[in-house]
Chain A
Amino acid sequence: SVEAHKEDKPQKTMEVNGLTAVPESYDYDLIVIGGGSGGLAAAKEAAKYGKKVMVLDFVVPTPQGSSWGLGGTCVNVGCIPKKLMHQAALLGQALQDSRKFGWQFTEEVKHNWMTMTESVQNYIGSLNWGYRVALRDNKVTYENAYGEFVGPHTIKATNKRGAEKLYTAERFLIATGERPRYLGIPGDKEYCISSDDLFSLPYCPGKTLVVGASYVALECAGFLAGLGLDVTVMVRSILLRGFDQDMANKIGEYMKEHGVNFIREFVPIKVEQIEEGTPGRLKVTAKSTTGNQIIEGEYNTVLLAIGRDPCTRKIGLDKVGVRINEKTGKIPVNDEEQTNVSYIYAVGDILQDKLELTPVAIQAGRLLIRRLYAGATTKCDYVNVPTTVFTPLEYGACGYSEETAVEKFGEENIEVYHSHFWPLEWTVPSRDNNKCYAKIICNIQDNERVIGFHVLGPNAGEVTQGFAAAIKCGMTKEQLDNTVGIHPVCAEV
C-alpha cells in the first residue's frame, strides 16, 4: 500500500553485519517545528538529555499585518494577553465595588486602551526575550524561519528575507499550532480583525461586533464590554459548543445582563468600509439562519472568532507521507503522539481529538521527550483535564459535562448536586445574588465517584485546579462531603 512506502525506514540507515540499523549522522537529533507551548517545552526537555535540538518558529503576519515573537499563541495572542485584559476588565468592576466598601474618587472613570495595551505588549516582549534566552541557555538552536518538509528526514527553513537552508534530523516534532479562521465573505480579510490582531491593536477598537460563540469570542466580548466599549456578539447557533450547555447558557445570560448585546441565529454575509480610520466605520450585513431576514449594523471594529485552523497544510507533510484529516487539517496520532510516520511526532493544538490547551501541549511534549530519550514509559493522560473560560463570570470545569455524562452513563445512573452561591465579596456592593453556581456530577454505580465538576464564579480557575487534582485521585461524593470547607471562600460551596 501507499502507506508502506512512506513508512519509517529512514533512508540513511545502514545495516552493518546484519546487526540493527545504525543511523548515519543527521544535523540534529530533533527538529521542532513551532516555538509555542508544546514545541518549546519539548525542545528544552530534549536538550536536558544532551540531545542536539533545533527549534524553527515563524509567524506569518495576519491579513492586517500583525506579527509577534517567539512563544506561540499562548504567550503572544492567547492565554497571557487574554488574562491580562480580562484582569483589566475585572479591575473596572472592582472600581465600582470599591465605592460601596468606602473608597471615594471621581464619579467618571475612563479606560485608556493604549496604556493597557502597551503594558501588556511590554510584558509579552519580556516573555519572548525570556524564551530566546532559555533556549540559548539550554543550547537549543533557534531559527526564526518557516519550516517545511522537502523529503524524508529533511526540512527547508525559509527566513523573513527569503533565504533558504536545508536541515536533517533523526526525529521531528510538529507543533505548529493554529490560526484564526476567516468567514470567506466579501470584506473579511480586508476589514475584519481576529484575536491575532486584538491584543496589539494600536488604537481602541470602539464599538465592536464579535462574530462567533467560541470561548475566544465570549472572553474577548466580555473584557471589551468590561472596559466600557459597546459590544455585540453575533452567534450562528449555540454558545460554547462542546461545553456543558447549562453552564454555557448561564454565562451568556450573565453577559447579556451586564451590557453585552447578542444577535442570535445570524451570520454575516458581507463587510463593507464606510470610513477609513483607526478605528474606521464598517457596515456589516447579516442573514438569518432560520429565514430570509437580512439585517445591517454599523461598527468600528469587527472581530472574527469563529474557530481556528491547524497550520498543517503548507508544511510539506505530503512530501513525507504524514497523514492529516483532510477536512479539519488536524493530525491523528497514537497514544504516544506519533504520526503515521514513525520518526515524526506532533503535539498541541494540531492534534486530532485532543484538547487545545497550553498545559496539555506542555505535558504531552515533555512526556514524549522523556519516553524518547530517557527511557520513560508514562504517556500523557488526556482524561479529566481541567479548563477555565475567563468570561466576565468565570467558568471552571473538569470532567464530563452533564449532557455527555447522561449520554455515556444514562440519566438514572448519574446524580447531579448543585447550588447557587453568593460570594461574600459581592454582598456589600449588592452584586447579583443568584448567578454564581456550582455543580458536580456523580456516577451512582461507581460509589458516587465525581465525574464532572463545574463552577461559575470569581476565580474559577483557582477554585477548579485543586478539585481537578482530587478528581484525578478518584474522589467520591462522600469524600467531598467529609472535607471541611475553608470559610469564607467561594470554593467551600
Chain B
Amino acid sequence: GKNEYDLLVIGGGSGGLACAKEAAQFGRKVAVLDYVEPSPQGTSWGLGGTCVNVGCIPKKLMHQAALLGSALKDAQHYGWNIAQPVHHTWSVMAQAVQNYVKSLNWGHRVQLQDKKVKYFNMKGSFSDPHTVHGLTKAGKETIVTADNIVLATGGRPKYPTHIAGALEYGITSDDLFWLKESPGKTLPSFILYVSLECAGFLTGIGLDTAVMMRSIPLRGFDQASQMASLVTEHMESYGTKFLKRCFPTKVEKLKSNRLQVTWKNTDLGTEESDSFDTVMWAVGRAPDTKTLNLETVGVKTNSETGKIIVDASEATSVPHIYAIGDITEGRPELTPTAIAAGKLLAQRLFGQSSELMDYDNVPTTVFTPLEYGCVGLSEEAAVQCHGSENIEVFHAYYKPLEFTVAERDATQCYMKMVCLREREQRILGLHFIGPNAGEVIQGFALGIKCGATYPQLMKAVGIHPTCAEEVTKLHITKRSGLDATVTGC
C-alpha cells in the first residue's frame, strides 16, 4: 500500500527539525516524532532537541551570566561604583533561561505548524523499514508509515554506572540547566568540553566548583601547544579546582543530604574524599538508539560507539533510511553541521540536488571562561598528516585591550595558525583562545573554506583595536623559538 508520509523524521532536534522543514518547503508530506525520556533524576523538556533544551542555548546563557560576573568586577576599574558585596541568585538566572528555552520550544511547534509538518510527541521504534510504531507518554499507540525515514535522535549523557551511587545521586547536563535550586558546591567529573564549560560558569557565578579528571583535558581537541591546558590553566586561576589524575570510586548520601564522594588519586596512590552538594557526570554522551529497534530493520551501527554508520549521503545500510546529527558515526557533534546536513539531505531527496555535506573545516568553540575557538586541523593532526618538517606554526600571546584597564590576567590569551610550509603556505588550522572566540573564528573559517593562504592573510588589513586583528599579524613561528608575545600597538 502507499505510505502515509513522504518523510518521517524521528527526533525533533537541530538536525531533525531542519530536515523536516526543508522537505516541507518542497511541498512534501512530512511528520516529526519527538520524545524525551526523562533523565534518571526525572528531568524532561519540550521540542527542540539537545541544543535548545540542554545544550548550546542554556549553556551559552549561563556562560554569559558568569561573564557578566567578571564584567561587574571590571566595571569598577572603569569607574562604575558598585556597592559590595555582589550576589548571584541561581533561581533568577535559571528561571530566565528556562523561560527563554520554553519560548523556543513553543516557537518550534509554531514553525512546524506553519510549514504543515505533522508533529507527534511520541517515542518511535521500527516495525519494518517503512513503518514506525509510536508510543505517547500516556501509552497511546500510533503507526506511521513513510517512504523515507531520517533518524536524528541525538545522544544522552552517559553515567559511569560502575561507580556505586553514580546513577542514584549524580546529575548530568540534562539536569543541570533545569535545576530550580542552586547546585551549590559542585563536582563536574571528567574532562570533556561539557564538563569544562559547566565548571567554568558555575565558578563564574560564585559556586565552589571542582573538576575531577582521570587523564587529559579536552580529548580530541588540539593538545600540542597545550590549547587545552591553557584553557584549564585559566580556569584554575579563575577559581575552579582541578583534581587531576583522580577517578571516583563511590558516591554516598550523607544525613545532611549532601553527597560524599570517594576517589583514588593515581599520582599519590591514595584514597581521598570530600562532600559536595552536587555531583555532575560529564563522561561522554551515548547515541540514543536503544529504543529504535534498529536490529529489526538491519540498520548497522558501530559496535564500539553504538553510532549509526552512514555514507557521504547520510544513507544507512538500509535503503530509504538515513541518519544525521549526533547519532551518526564519524561526524562532528555540532548543531550547525546537523542542520546543514539535514537541509542538504532534504534537498537531495526532494529537490533534485546532488550536493553532499562537507564536513571538512567545520569551526567550533568551547565556551569556557576564556573561550577557545578553532577551525581546521589541530597541530598534532597536521603533523601526523603532513610531517612536522612540512608544516609551519605561527603563534602569538596577546593582550585584549579591555583587559588592561580592568587589570585582568591575559597569560593564556593565545593564538596559533598551522600552515603548510611549501610555496603557497595554505592554512590548515587556526586556534584562538580569548574573549569572543566564536565571533573571531567564524569569518576566518570562511577564509579557510576559500583555501586561504598565509600570504593572503598577511595582506588583509587588521581592524583596530580588536583581538581578531592579531590573527592578521601572526609572524613568529614555533620553529624559530623566539618570544611570541605581542608588543605594542
A binds B: yes
Q: Which residues of A contact B (CB under 8 A)?
A: 37, 71, 74-75, 79-80, 83-84, 87-88, 91-92, 94-95, 97-98, 100-106, 109-117, 119-120, 123, 127, 130-131, 134, 227, 357-360, 363, 381, 384-388, 396, 424-425, 427-428, 459, 461-470, 472-475, 479-480, 482-492
Verify if B488 is at the interface (C-beta below 8 Å from A).
yes
Output the nearest chain B residue to A100 by Cβ-Cβ distance.
B96
CA distance A106 to B436 in the complex (A): 29
| Chain B 377-405 interface 0/1 with A at a Cβ cutoff of 8 Å (1 = within) | 00000000000000000000000011011
Output the nearest chain B residue to A71 by Cβ-Cβ distance.
B489
With A357-B461, A396-B463, A487-B335 known as contacts, the answer to whether A87 contacts B451 (CB < 8 A) is no
The contact sample of 27 A-B pairs, CB cut-off 8 A, is: A79-B465, A91-B78, A98-B68, A102-B90, A105-B83, A109-B80, A109-B81, A113-B79, A358-B464, A358-B489, A428-B64, A459-B439, A461-B463, A462-B439, A462-B467, A464-B468, A465-B440, A466-B443, A467-B443, A470-B450, A472-B456, A473-B451, A475-B446, A484-B336, A486-B364, A491-B438, A491-B442
| Chain B 3-19 interface 0/1 with A at a Cβ cutoff of 8 Å (1 = within) | 00000000000000000
With A71-B489, A103-B88, A487-B51 known as contacts, the answer to whether A98 contacts B72 (CB < 8 A) is yes
Interchain CB contact under 8 A, B442 and A463: yes
CA distance A103 to B327 in the complex (A): 38
Interchain CB contact under 8 A, A486 and B461: no
Interchain CB contact under 8 A, B75 and A466: no
With A127-B488, A465-B466 known as contacts, the answer to whether A95 contacts B57 (CB < 8 A) is no
Verify if B97 is at the interface (C-beta below 8 Å from A).
yes
Output the nearest chain A residue to B340 by Cβ-Cβ distance.
A484
Q: Name the A residues within 8 Å of B361 (CB-CB).
A: 483
Output the nearest chain A residue to B81 by Cβ-Cβ distance.
A110
CA distance A357 to B402 in the complex (A): 20
Interchain CB contact under 8 A, B460 and A472: yes
CA distance A385 to B459 in the complex (A): 10
Q: Which of A387, A469, A487, A492 contacts B452 (CB 8 A)?
A: A469
Interchain CB contact under 8 A, A79 and B464: yes
B81 to chain A, nearest CB (A): 5
Verify if B441 is at the interface (C-beta below 8 Å from A).
yes
CA distance A462 to B157 in the complex (A): 33
Q: Name the B residues within 8 Å of A469 (CB-CB).
A: 443-444, 447, 452, 456-457, 460, 471-472
B149 to chain A, nearest CB (A): 25
B131 to chain A, nearest CB (A): 34
A47 to chain B, nearest CB (A): 14
Q: Name the A residues within 8 Å of B443 (CB-CB).
A: 463-470, 491
Verify if B365 is at the interface (C-beta below 8 Å from A).
yes
Q: Name the B residues within 8 Å of A131 (CB-CB).
A: 488-489
Q: Which of A95, A120, A127, A387 contacts B489 (CB 8 A)?
A: A127
| Chain B contact residue count (CB 8 A cutoff) | 82
Interchain CB contact under 8 A, A103 and B468: no
Q: Name the A residues within 8 Å of B336 (CB-CB).
A: 484-487, 492
Q: Name the B residues within 8 Å of A396 (CB-CB).
A: 463
Interchain CB contact under 8 A, A462 and B446: no
B56 to chain A, nearest CB (A): 5
Q: Name the A residues within 8 Å of B180 (CB-CB).
A: none
Q: Name the B residues within 8 Å of A474 (CB-CB).
A: 450
Interface residues of A: mostly helix, strand, loop or mixed? helix
B403 to chain A, nearest CB (A): 10
Verify if B89 is at the interface (C-beta below 8 Å from A).
yes
CA distance A388 to B64 in the complex (A): 24
A292 to chain B, nearest CB (A): 43
Verify if B158 is at the interface (C-beta below 8 Å from A).
no
B98 to chain A, nearest CB (A): 10
CA distance A101 to B90 in the complex (A): 9
CA distance A91 to B77 in the complex (A): 10
A348 to chain B, nearest CB (A): 13
Output the nearest chain B residue to A131 by Cβ-Cβ distance.
B488
A332 to chain B, nearest CB (A): 21
Output the nearest chain B residue to A491 by Cβ-Cβ distance.
B442
With A84-B401, A91-B80, A424-B61 known as contacts, the answer to whether A486 contacts B463 (CB < 8 A) is no
Q: Name the A residues within 8 Å of B90 (CB-CB).
A: 102
CA distance A94 to B97 in the complex (A): 17
CA distance A424 to B62 in the complex (A): 11
Verify if B306 is at the interface (C-beta below 8 Å from A).
no
With A130-B488, A462-B468, A488-B56 known as contacts, the answer to whether A116 contacts B436 (CB < 8 A) is no
Verify if B337 is at the interface (C-beta below 8 Å from A).
yes
Interface residues of B: mostly helix, strand, loop or mixed? helix
Verify if B92 is at the interface (C-beta below 8 Å from A).
yes
Verify if B86 is at the interface (C-beta below 8 Å from A).
yes
Interchain CB contact under 8 A, B471 and A465: yes
Interchain CB contact under 8 A, B489 and A466: no
CA distance A74 to B489 in the complex (A): 9
Verify if B217 is at the interface (C-beta below 8 Å from A).
no
CA distance A488 to B50 in the complex (A): 13
Interchain CB contact under 8 A, B460 and A104: no
Q: How many residue pairs bridge A and B at CB < 8 Å? A: 289
B window 315-334: CB within 8 A of A: 334
B389 to chain A, nearest CB (A): 26
B window 90-115: CB within 8 A of A: 90-94, 96-97, 100
A172 to chain B, nearest CB (A): 23
Q: Name the A residues within 8 Å of B461 (CB-CB).
A: 357, 359-360, 363, 381, 385-386, 468
Q: Name the B residues within 8 Å of A103 (CB-CB).
A: 65, 68-69, 72, 86-89
CA distance A91 to B78 in the complex (A): 8
Q: Name the B residues within 8 Å of A427 (CB-CB).
A: 61, 100
Output the nearest chain B residue to A37 by Cβ-Cβ distance.
B489
CA distance A359 to B447 in the complex (A): 20
Interchain CB contact under 8 A, A467 and B446: yes
Output the nearest chain A residue to B443 by Cβ-Cβ distance.
A466
With A427-B61, A490-B439 known as contacts, the answer to whether A359 contacts B463 (CB < 8 A) is yes
CA distance A245 to B384 in the complex (A): 50
CA distance A360 to B464 in the complex (A): 10
Interchain CB contact under 8 A, B68 and A94: yes
With A104-B88, A111-B79, A491-B443 known as contacts, the answer to whether A470 contacts B489 (CB < 8 A) is no
A477 to chain B, nearest CB (A): 11
Verify if B175 is at the interface (C-beta below 8 Å from A).
no
Verify if B219 is at the interface (C-beta below 8 Å from A).
no
B154 to chain A, nearest CB (A): 15
With A119-B78, A425-B64, A484-B336 known as contacts, the answer to whether A388 contacts B463 (CB < 8 A) is yes
Query: Quick one: which of A109, A461, A465, A482 has the most chain B CB within 10 A?
Result: A465
B window 243-294: CB within 8 A of A: none
With A83-B465, A428-B97, A474-B450 known as contacts, the answer to whether A95 contacts B457 (CB < 8 A) is no
Q: Which of A358, A363, A463 contacts B439 (CB 8 A)?
A: A463
Interchain CB contact under 8 A, B57 and A94: no
Verify if B358 is at the interface (C-beta below 8 Å from A).
yes
Interchain CB contact under 8 A, B81 and A101: no
Q: Which of B77, B446, B459 contacts A483 (CB 8 A)?
A: B446
Q: Name the B residues within 8 Å of A134 (CB-CB).
A: 487-488
Q: Name the A residues within 8 Å of B311 (CB-CB).
A: none
Query: Quick one: which of B68, B77, B83, B404 has the most chain A CB within 10 A?
Result: B68
Interchain CB contact under 8 A, A468 and B460: yes
CA distance A115 to B74 in the complex (A): 12
Q: Name the B residues within 8 Å of A104 (CB-CB).
A: 86-89, 92
Verify if B160 is at the interface (C-beta below 8 Å from A).
no
Query: Quick one: which of B74, B78, B465 has the most chain A CB within 10 A?
Result: B78
Interchain CB contact under 8 A, A95 and B72: yes
Interchain CB contact under 8 A, B61 and A486: no
CA distance A467 to B383 in the complex (A): 27
Q: Name the B residues within 8 Å of A470 (CB-CB).
A: 443-444, 446-447, 449-450, 452
Interchain CB contact under 8 A, A466 and B61: no
Interchain CB contact under 8 A, B465 and A88: no
CA distance A134 to B401 in the complex (A): 19
Q: Name the A residues within 8 Å of B468 (CB-CB).
A: 461-462, 464-466
Verify if B176 is at the interface (C-beta below 8 Å from A).
no
Q: Name the A residues within 8 Å of B445 (CB-CB).
A: 466, 483-484, 486
